[in-house]
Chain A
Amino acid sequence: MKPLYINGLSCISPQPTFGAEFPFEAKRYDSNRLSCIEPDYAPYIDPKASRRMGRLLKYGTTVGLQALRDAGVGSPDAISTGTGFGLLDDSGKFLKNVTEAEEGVVSPTAFIQSTHNTVSSNIALTVGCKGHNNTFVNKGFSFESALLDAQMLAEENAAMKNILVGAYDETTDYSYTIMKRLRLIREQEIANLDLLQTPGSGTIAGEGAAFFLLSTEKVDTYAILHGSEILYKPTSTDKVKFKLEAFLSRNKLVLSDIDIVISGLCGDAKRDEMLGNLNDNYFTAQTILGYKHLCGEYMTSSAFALWLGSMIAKTGSIPAETIIRDSHRLTSNILIYNVYKNDHAFVLLSK
């Protein structure tokens, strides 16, 4: 499939990624739950509407609108998004209201906003985008499915020039408590910047939103997105290698062409086993970067990684706190390799 140009982007995360300088100075947290640094929403969302909106709807919508503004595109031809849990806070709120009211009279607001496609449709509503609109909700594949959706659209229809793609997730008090009980989160508080140096049991919880305006035309481009590939439950590193080499070959590259691997290590020794093994024994010539210590673990964190990769491709600078192993390579060809439980995914971009 033809590559697409990343002509606009935006990211809200637990780091100063929204409208700040790059490389940013990584923010240190001493809690196992990282929350987004929220901007003033007034330039994006009518304050009256904003009061009724949940946090994720606000920061998701804002990032989508800012990616469009960044690219100078008023309304895209299509919107495709991904989210693991969707609008979890509204879901929890509505569930609480229904439970406490013993199924009596409750307000519909939280129910309406709890629908997974709310962010995607709210952006469409705001900019009057009447084109294709999709939302994928499959754990670690959610964002990559949206990327593929966009790339297929551009392939199928010459009129599809500007496609807005993004992903968003939130951690709530309820979900954090449940994740802790499920032992997905570290028992002891750990400083986020130390997470990847001290593998243990569990990770840290995160959240965030990142959107990209993908275009068939090159205009003030951040990076070229070649494509993405998903790999469900690979049983061995050989299977990963086979799939990756085929993926690279379809994009007319070989492994040695890859300069940087942005690796989805999460600090959980068991879950990182395959990635760590590949970093040590396969991606031996590449610079290895980590990112989950900055944004925390969540199902669509690979959108944060794509934002990071795009900024590196554009500026040629690498935030110091992301470097796991520096092989002093160029910043031309960047591979994102994320793992969320059974879901492995590659995204390939270049300068």
Chain B
Amino acid sequence: MKSPIYITGLGVISSIGDNVDQTLDNLRKSRTGVDEIKILHTQLKGTLPLAEIKYTNQELAQISGLETWQTRTAQLSMIAAQEAKDSCKIDYSEWRCGFISANTVGGMDRTEDFFKEFIVDNSKGDLHDVVNHDSGDATEIVADKLGMTDYVTTISTACSSSANAIMFGARLIHNDIVDIVIAGGTDSLSRFTLNGFKSLMILDDKPCMPFDENRKGLNLGEGAGYVVLVSERVMKAEGLTPLAMLSGYANANDAYHQTASSPEGNGNYQAMKGALDMTGLEPSAINYINVHGTGTPNNDVSEGMAIMRLFGEKPPVFSSTKAYTGHTLAASGGIEAVLSILAIQHGLIFPNLRFTTQMKEHTFSPQVSLIEGSKVDHVLSNSFGFGGNCSSLIFSKA
């Protein structure tokens, strides 16, 4: 194992808070962000809930400092990445700095507005709404504003995207390409995504119930989450206090089906096992698993089976925080990385909201109430996506 990668800063925005402090407060108070639709312009308003950030794009632009016509994806990314950057007392100009982001939707929230007029008459539609469409665009806008451009890239592997961005960031440091990376992901809600998941019939029309026998599907959410990753050299030279270490990671493919997980969760198992093997820890050393736990029938069975295979019938305490934030897709790995590190920092284990009935396939059930003052030294965070993309990260007390 090479020298460790330290995490020295966090930034997050989601339906449960505009920043790290608000998020922590809402987690402690078991306040969910899942609510009826208020912001997204959609015909589906009133038929199902979402975990929206309750600001219009104009209001977000006030916070982010970007232009109001820039995409919601970029606005969310800017707010969380800036918080992460500012939370560290680092002289960034002294180091090679990278920005590695992730998203699935790119500028779709604006493109779909453009499209309404465009499909009727292709000489119509405001081009401002479509120029920021591609996924790399939000990343470059934010990298420019952060001034972190020695390595810039974007990953899109569906719902595991930002876990892979964090992994790639750590590997860029290991391979001496940069010294500091802000890594994570962002996604905003759009009619495109909402109707896509609706067409797959995996949305719950009530607040979701991850890992519950009676779960019906997921709730979509939006947000962004980033961590500041630094090498040991940066940490020492800048005299920083690390919040945690990234001690293990792995990316595997289920190679089973384009949208479904294998029933035994092969890819999930390989990702968790690969991350654990990298740390050199025994499975029993993991104190908390922040599961992917979307609340779909398929994901939660497969993930649970893989957990049982790796950890036995009595796995570590676990919960899905998607009952708070909804499934924020490409942002989820970044947001849940932030929550995992908050668990280590504050000795907290967050409850799996709304759980009532254990799944018949599993021998265990998630944590249902907040645990405070707990010894949380090692947290496993799972992110699994379409295309069989499975990634796991392990964060450890530094």
Contact = CB atoms under 8 A, between A and B. Distances in A.
Nearest to A181: B127
B388 A103 contact: no
Interface string A69-96: 0000000000100001110000100111
Given A86-B156, A112-B386, A137-B135, A129 B175 contact: no
B313 to A, nearest CB: 25
Contacts of B255: 124-125, 128-130
B191 A117 contact: no
Contacts of B196: 94, 108, 111, 114
Contact of A96 (B119, B155, B258, B270): B119
A98 B175 CA distance: 44
Contacts of B300: none
28 contacts: A1-B175, A85-B133, A85-B134, A95-B192, A98-B195, A103-B42, A103-B44, A112-B200, A115-B104, A115-B158, A115-B387, A116-B135, A117-B158, A117-B389, A121-B253, A125-B257, A125-B388, A130-B254, A130-B270, A133-B388, A137-B154, A138-B154, A141-B153, A177-B122, A178-B130, A181-B127, A182-B131, A230-B152
Interface of B: 42-44, 104, 106, 108, 111-112, 115-116, 118-119, 122-123, 127, 130-131, 133-137, 139-140, 143-144, 149-158, 164, 168, 171-172, 174-175, 177, 191-192, 195-196, 199-200, 251-259, 266-267, 270, 385-389
Contacts of B136: 84, 137-139, 141-142
A299 interface: yes
A86 B105 CA distance: 11
B282 to A, nearest CB: 22
Nearest to A106: B199
B156 A145 contact: no
Interface residues of A, number: 60
Contacts of A105: 199
A107 interface: yes
Contact of B155 (A79, A112, A124, A136): A136
B251 A132 contact: yes
Which of B106, B116, B254, B255 has the most chain A CB atoms inside 10 A of its CB? B255
Contact of B115 (A79, A95, A124): A95
Interface of A: 1, 79, 84-86, 91, 94-96, 98-100, 102-103, 105-108, 111-112, 114-118, 120-122, 124-125, 128-139, 141-142, 145, 148-149, 152, 155-156, 174, 177-178, 181-182, 230, 232-233, 299, 342
Nearest to A83: B156
A95 B112 contact: yes
Nearest to A230: B151
B386 A152 contact: no
B155 A134 contact: yes
Nearest to A108: B199
The prevalent SS among residues of B at the interface is mixed
Q: Top 4 closest A-B pairs, CB basis?
A: A121-B387, A111-B196, A138-B136, A116-B156
A156 B156 contact: no
A148 B175 CA distance: 10
Nearest to B194: A103
B192 A136 contact: no
A246 to B, nearest CB: 12
Contacts of A342: 140
A304 to B, nearest CB: 19
Contacts of B43: 102-103
Given A108-B196, A115-B387, 15 more contacts: A86-B135, A99-B115, A103-B42, A103-B43, A106-B199, A112-B386, A117-B156, A117-B387, A120-B387, A122-B258, A124-B253, A130-B255, A137-B106, A142-B153, A342-B140
Contacts of B149: 232-233
A3 to B, nearest CB: 14
A131 B255 CA distance: 9
A181 B131 CA distance: 11
A130 B252 contact: yes
Nearest to B102: A137
A143 to B, nearest CB: 11
A84 to B, nearest CB: 6
Contacts of A94: 192, 195-196
A138 B152 contact: yes
A178 B127 contact: yes
B252 A103 contact: no
A34 B83 CA distance: 44
